[in-house]
Amino acid sequence: MGRDLKEVSVEYAGFWLRLGAGFIDFLLLGTIVGTLYYFFKAPAIWLPSGLAISFTYYVSFWWRYGQTPGKMAAGIKVIEEGGLPVSWQTAVRRGWGYLVTGLTLSAGFVMVAFDGKKQALHDKIANTYVVKLPVRQPSLSKTYFRSQAGYV
């Protein structure tokens, strides 16, 4: 039985942070799909291939890590309700939700700016949330300070 999000302390990732992460992913995927376009100018080849590569990229990263490289760089992560990691079924549902969101002329992405839990349309479809990861700070022991001051 999963925990309710009310029991887990999370901070939802907002529009600009998610946009920045998406831009990084866009650059990575653009390089791959752009290379396909360079070699195969026919839209019948590069367009479906590019969509398949993009879908696989997102779904596999969400399922395996809960993050795409863009989200890793931004320090944010996709979770399921209750703070659970993303299952492969949820990752696939979220991937299809991305396509639906794209069909809304990106209005589904803009929803993040106005939603209380910062969910885009694909988050609502897959019942996922994008949260900020806690900042990890080093904990320095007293022995570290003593050795720095010349004490042993």
Model confidence pLDDT, tens digit, residues 62-88: 999 999 999 999 999 999 998 999 999
What residues contact 125, with CB distance under 8 A and at least 6 apart?
93, 94, 96, 97, 100
Q: What is the domain count for the chain?
A: 1
Query: Which of these, 24, 14, 22, lies nearest to 132 by C-alpha position?
Result: 14
Q: Is the dihedral of CA 90, 34, 103, 119 positive or negative?
A: positive
pLDDT of 5 > 80? The answer is no
Provide the pLDDT for residue 9: 78
Contact between residue 10 and residue 129 where contact means Cβ atoms under 8 Å apart: yes
Q: Under DSSP, is residue 2 helix (H, G, I), strand (E, B) or coil?
A: coil
Provide the pLDDT for residue 41: 87
Provide the pLDDT for residue 47: 87
Q: Under DSSP, is residue 139 helix (H, G, I), strand (E, B) or coil?
A: coil
Range of the structural domain that residue 56 is part of: 5-148
